[in-house]
Structure 1
Amino acid sequence: MVELKTEHEIEEMRAAGRVVADALAAVREAARPGVSLLDLDAVARRVLREAGADSPFLGYRPQFAPVPFPGVICASVNDAIVHGIPDGRRLRDGDLVSIDCGAKLGGWAGDAAVSFTVGRPRPADLRLIETAEAALAAGIEQARPGRRIGDIAHAVGRVCRAAGYGVPDGFGGHGIGRSMHEDPGVPNEGRPGRGMTLRPGMVLAIEPMLIAGGGDDYLTDGDGWTLRTTDGSRAAHAEHTVAVTADGPRILTAR
């Protein structure tokens, strides 16, 4: 079931979204060679704590997961696509890092992700990240009343494929509200004009995931969470929580 949010409820979700944006900005600022992924998780925990927010990631355990998620961020490095567990690994010069973070404030959730490089970037990594952000922007542009879920999916996938990148099979965005994951699913590829019609009050987490090598397959680490590219190529992830309104898409996790 899709819950339509009122204007007041969207404003409350915006408050949660600001916390997510602040946490991502703080993590990105802290990320440098020698800093561990656990250090970055601690940075995000501090931002959430100071805002009076909880983490929808911490302790989350979907059916596929062997253990509850132990962090407040997903920290995916280089060939890790998504769901990387923050651990003692220390960042190195040239790493490509994707950070996914959520916050729950006043009963409402926000969810966003950003990819960036540490130290001296590889040109190929910058292009990958730029394409992820362009795919996200294209999907957000379609989040308007009267459009369909397939229009978002098609816009995202078209940008990714045109650049020669792969799209992990079966993974995409989702509805969001009082829970981090709600209906409807928002695929990263699809046919325009298909799927659920968008209505004012729908709130979606749109999140392109790109594989540099061009394939769509992935492997799951022994931790049961981290998804990795099968060819060892790098990956990028970008995400925003977006409200569908009569005035057009409204990004709730912008800083």
Structure 2
Amino acid sequence: MRKNKGKVFLVGFGPGAPDLITRRGEEALSRAEVIFYDHWVDRRYLRKFQAEKIYVGKQKGKHGRPQDEINELLYQAARDGKCIVRLKGGDPFIFGRGGEEQEYLEARSIRVVVIPGVTAALAAAACAGIPLTHRGVSSSVAFCAGHPTDKIQTPCVDTIVYYMAGSNAMEIMDRLIRNGWDKETPVAFISNATLPMEKIRISTLEKEIGKQKRVQTPLIMIVGKTVGMAKEPEKEE
């Protein structure tokens, strides 16, 4: 089947800091006629592009556009022959629902080009000085969603990174211990990685269980022995 003239670029904005978007991603933005962007994209950065900007972001606890509606908006814009950028925080294919959008558009003969971005797990770990893999310590890593509660996984790997873990951090740690993880396993809580308001806190599963600390979101939670290699961890009070 012949493709329509419209094209959609699924572009990863990266973890937050505008200078971490790829050159290829920025080139796509400069060519775009319409940019559909998420909540975690810096709006000030978008001012330099001439394209029409349409906000389609989602925030926990706040009403946002349903995914089905976003899919259709992308299709309608591309069907008119326009060059579209769907700009997503992090990487489009890691907890970004980029696969759903690609599937929807390609089923309707819209060409999709994916431009990867730096995902939050990699950025948060780098900011904290935590190697996700390290010879002799960690040879496997898993990226897991921190919600919903009934879907939380505790895979048998050396290092686990939980995305969107803020509201379920205590449940995640309790489940890890119940599933055999050592209570002394280091854990890192990293919010707003790469941004001026970035916060990094290093602890252990045992020290955190039962605490009711307020955490900033978005929160990345890293569990594993390599967390103990973090640079200048904050002292526990």
Task: Confirm or deny a common fold (TM above 0.5).
Answer: no
Larger Rg: 2
* Higher RCO, 1 vs 2 (CA within 8 Å, ≥6 residues apart): 1
TM-score range for the pair, normalised by the shorter chain length: 0.3 to 0.5
